[in-house]
Amino acid sequence: MTKKNPQGEVWIFAEQQDGKLNDVALELCGKARALADVLGVKVGAVLPGYQVAGLAPTLFAHGVDRVYLVDDPNLRYFTSSPYAFVMETLIDKYAPQIVLYGATPLGRDFGPRVASAIRAGLTADCVELEIGDVVDAKTKEEYKNLLYQIRPAFGGNIVATIVNPERWPQMATVREGVFPKQEPDATRGGEIVEEKIALDPSLLCVEVLERMVQERTVDLKGARIVVSGGAGVGSKENFQLIRDLADALGGAVGASRAAVNCGYIGAEHMVGQTGVTVRPALYIAIGISGAIQHIAGMQDSAKIIAINSDPKAPIFSIARYGIVGDLNQIVPWLIKAVRERPTE
Amino acid sequence: MASYNSIVLVKQVPDTSRISGDAMNSDGTIKRSALPAIFNPEDLCALEAALEVKDRFGGTVTVVSMGPPKAADVLRECLYRGADRAILVTDRAAAGSDTLATSYILSQAVKTVGNFDFVFCGRQAIDGDTAQTGPQCAEKLGIPQVAYLLEIIDVKDGKATLKRSIGDGWEIVRTTLPALVTVVRDANEPRPCSSIRVMRNKHKRVPAEVQDPAALAPEDRLEQWSLADIDADLDRCGFAGSPTKVHKVTSIVLKTEGHTSIEATEEGVRALVAELVKDRALA
């Protein structure tokens, strides 16, 4: 188990695929910078891959002080065991106090494996991270400068603050879009620490034979208008109404977790704590009751319109405009009104 | 001819897709009792993957769940759908386990079953969505993991060729066995229960489910294991084995500045669109 190290750095996992850093890694840089400034320590980024040294300046520009570069042909394509081993080895060597991962398919695959190996905690899908003190209710022992890992708890509109008082590093995953990407500062420099880590053949027991990466077809984060449907939409076929309204508005199609779980639409459309966080100019929630897990991902929208048949649905309490009624009537009216809208 | 034994990890969960107005209190908390307990959907896909391995290559399918006695419901369902053996790990000392402690307990159960080529589990459970327990079990078992299975392409010579999702695409990987595989919903269509298997297994109970365990006939008994039965170190289970602690829980007060109710009529909707155009919320 890793020793608690209050001078330890704040780390992020610098996820890249095919030599390109993903957005969430850069979003995490900004948050890590802010946390490290509170603690008075440096920000480190762990960058495994092959021929990826060229990514270091981007990480520096986004707030990283030190890039731990592990360049190895065996790390060209992600597989869980060697990536986890690299992380475990570096955590063991440098004892960072905090490690943040993007809650991407890749981060969610190997992050837990790292946590298990070093027997540390890993709090999934945090919506906020802060530094704070904790007094143990029983022992009265005070813990200074812990990482508050804040996430909605299943069970409604309740937010839980998770801490790891004893077992460090404190690790968390964060979904894309939760933290805004900070403006890069190209004049910021940093240090590249090259690490050679021997990968035992037993770690390389999964081979990637073929790989197909599709262009991302859903751009929720960049959309100015998002139209989302929930379980109230009722069927996969009826979800066409949501798409039609989004089309009419030139917006993106979103969905609540319930709608995804019901099979109405793919998970790439999910808005919320376990999906994408969006901040559009206009968000239209249709047949969505407003569980905190959804609200966490859209409450910062500039204007929210809620359409729901249940007047008591929590979504109305954050909506600028509310329409209580049958979405099967209201959405077609809305589509018509949008198509026929006056232009200024 | 080679055959392959699978162990499937399954969980009973509250049906979070049913969280609607009816299942919520006025303060926004969930009425848990209003949500039915169901078989975690992706765990059903994990079971199907294991049954597919059995159908194509031969072998056995053993199912393990951890939970309260009531979780035996999902084990019976596994037997109805084709599993050969089902085991419930239930112990008060397991309460309060986070994902690390849970994966420790499950990995001990898997080791106790022994003699396996595959461990299948759903990618994630719908009550927490963390997707951590599978990879953590793999680490504790010291075996490779392949996450987000879409298709079992082939199994031969002690290796499995699998297609997996990588979010914005897919990959075909080849792994040595034994391996742990997490399964996503798109992987397959779980087979229905067989009526013969329902008849044969519906009376089965774990001892903790019945008033008088001693009266349970051997043929009606489902296996029930305690933490001692799987040789688990109690310091690594439950609250003691969980590095993450809940520091505090706060309710959220949802509010917005100014709320306008729009009449649910065509005119009401038209007026709303006109206002949005005026505010430049619509391009």
- DSSP annotation string for A144-156: EEEEEEEEEETTB
The pLDDT assigned to A159 comes to 82
Which B-chain residues 42-101 have CB contacts (< 8 A) with chain A? 98-100
List pLDDT tens digits, range A156-198: 567 889 999 989 999 999 998 899 999 999 999 999 999 999 9
| Partner-chain contact B273 A341, CB within 8 Å | yes
The pLDDT assigned to A217 comes to 74
Flag whether B139 is in a domain: yes
Considering CB atoms only, which of A81, A212, A261 is closest to B144? A81
| Partner-chain contact A112 B283, CB within 8 Å | no
**Is the CB of residue A229 less than 8 Å from the CB of residue A255?**
yes
Which residues from A are below 8 Å from B138, CB to CB? 80, 113
pLDDT at A337 over 90: yes
List pLDDT tens digits, range A100-111: 999 999 999 999
Flag whether B211 is in a domain: yes
Which residues from A are below 8 Å from B170, CB to CB? 211-212
State the average pLDDT over residues B88-109: 95
Taking the alpha carbons at both ends of chain B, their separation in whole angstroms is: 66
Report ipTM for this prediction.
0.89
* Percent of chain A whose pLDDT exceeds 90: 81
Residue B246 banded pLDDT, cuts 50, 70, 90: confident
Which residues from B are below 8 Å from A334, CB to CB? 269, 272-273
List pLDDT tens digits, range B175-191: 999 999 999 999 999 99
**Is the CB of residue A78 less than 8 Å from the CB of residue A102?**
no
| Partner-chain contact A206 B146, CB within 8 Å | yes
B19 touches chain A (CB under 8 A): yes
CATH number of the domain where residue B16 is located: 3.40.50.620
Considering CB atoms only, which of A84, A159, A231 is closest to B20? A231
B138 touches chain A (CB under 8 A): yes
The pLDDT assigned to A214 comes to 82
Handedness of CA B33, B35, B41, B42 (dihedral sign): negative
State the average pLDDT over residues A12-38: 96
The CB density around residue A325, as the number of other CB atoms within 10 Å, is 19
Tell me the backbone φ, ψ of residue B260, rounded to 5 degrees: -115, 125
Which residues from B are below 8 Å from A310, CB to CB? 20-22
Residue B14 banded pLDDT, cuts 50, 70, 90: confident
| Partner-chain contact A211 B140, CB within 8 Å | no
Average pLDDT of every residue of chain B: 91
Torsional class of A230: left (φ above 0), alpha (ψ -120 to 50), beta (otherwise) = beta
| Partner-chain contact A112 B252, CB within 8 Å | no
Average pLDDT of every residue of chain A: 93
Domain boundaries, position B210: 6-236
pLDDT at A221 over 80: yes
The pLDDT assigned to A158 comes to 73
* B6 beta partners: B61, B118
Flag whether B109 is in a domain: yes
SS3 content of chain A, % helix, strand, coil (to 5): 30, 30, 40
Measure the CA–CA gap between B188 and B117, rounded to whole angstroms: 20
State the average pLDDT over residues B152-161: 96
Flag whether B166 is in a domain: yes
* Percent of chain A whose pLDDT exceeds 70: 98
State the average pLDDT over residues B121-137: 92
State the average pLDDT over residues A55-59: 98
Flag whether B256 is in a domain: no
State the average pLDDT over residues A125-138: 92
The pLDDT assigned to A215 comes to 77
Flag whether B48 is in a domain: yes
**Is the CB of residue B11 less than 8 Å from the CB of residue B72?**
no
List pLDDT tens digits, range A203-214: 999 999 999 988
Considering CB atoms only, which of A77, A116, A207 is closest to B140? A116
A215 touches chain B (CB under 8 A): yes
The pLDDT assigned to B31 comes to 64
Q: Which residue has the higher pLDDT, A43 or B255?
A: A43
* pTM for the predicted model, two decimal places: 0.88
Domains of chain A: 10-204 (3.40.50.620), 225-339 (3.40.50.1220)
Which residues from A are below 8 Å from B249, CB to CB? 153, 158-161
* B10 beta partners: B65
| Partner-chain contact A232 B20, CB within 8 Å | yes
Q: What is the Cα B14 distance to its own chain's centre?
A: 11
Domains contained in chain B, number: 1
The pLDDT assigned to B249 comes to 79
A328 touches chain B (CB under 8 A): no
